[in-house]
Amino acid sequence: MRVDRPPLAGYFGTPAEYIVHNRLVYNPDIEDDKALRTSADRVFEALQDAIVRGEIPPGSRVGETELAERFGTSRGPLREALRRLESRRLVERTPHVGIRIASLGYAALLEIYYVREALEGMAARLAAMYMTAAEVAGLKDLLVTHEQDEALRADTAYFQQEGDLDFHYRVIQGSHNTALTELLIGELYHRIRMYRYQVSAYANRPQKAFGEHQRIVEAIEARDGDLAEMLMRRHISSARQNIEKHMKENT
């Protein structure tokens, strides 16, 4: 389903696998999926996945011992995983009290969207400047795939959401700015994905977003950094306003 892509610029697997050891892993296939290097890595990935998917209720308090035996390890590696999740703002720890799973409210989500707007706007600008011709070609291929996808036409949300993420991942990576990439993909996107699972049924707007994606790619292909940044900012700003509208309706 997501295999036949030009290998030069592709992410593979689920987004949760992109980050290993605080580093971006661009091709996890060369690493053993099941047996990551250290035990802390395994529990970190498993816990992050469980939190992002909402298997552990957001806002709930959990004990270290409980989690340790749940993941079949000791408290040592578990605490290392917790520390990493804390830096990603997926759990909150207060000394001598315990840990609780982060819950992303509307206000926090909107804050992140302002950050996204700034960072991804810059990413689009840099992508227009530094993306290789092959990367641009891969981006265009991705859009063709999305256009032909039945789910997109049917407004079925889920795949479009993943496809949307894929598009943004590629633009971000196209900036060739590792600090920017790690900040967005390594820290912000996990929280956004968590929110998507929390309130799975919020109306996105695949058709409109698809058109905006196309224009962004056109600007990148034309090496027009100013335009690419502006379009990306408006794209994300629209998404934010869409959320704000829903927020007011649901309160």
Report the interface residues with DNA, using CB under 7 A: 37-40, 62-65, 73-77, 79-80, 93, 95-99
Neighbour tally for 193: CB within 10 Å: 17
- The least CB distance from residue 22 to DNA, in Å, is 12
Q: What's the rounded Cα separation, in Å, for the pair 174 and 132?
A: 8
Q: What is the 3-state secondary structure (H, E, C) of 175-206?
A: CCCHHHHHHHHHHHHHHHHHHHHHCCCCCCCH
Note whether 84 binds a copy of itself by CB under 8 A.
yes
Binds a copy of itself by CB under 8 A, chosen from 78, 126, 194, 219 = 126
- The least CB distance from residue 88 to DNA, in Å, is 17
The single-letter DSSP state of residue 58 is T
Rg (CA), the chain: 19
Range in contact with a copy of itself (rule: CB under 8 A) among 81-89, 138-146, 148-156, 207-215: 81-89
Which one, 59 or 63, has the nearer CB to DNA? 63
- The least CB distance from residue 147 to a copy of itself, in Å, is 30
Ramachandran region of residue 151, left (φ > 0), alpha (ψ -120 to 50) or beta?
alpha
Which one, 110 or 151, has the nearer CB to a copy of itself? 110
Q: Taking CB under 8 A as the criterion, which residues in 34-63 touch a copy of itself? A: 37-38, 41
Note whether 206 binds a copy of itself by CB under 8 A.
no
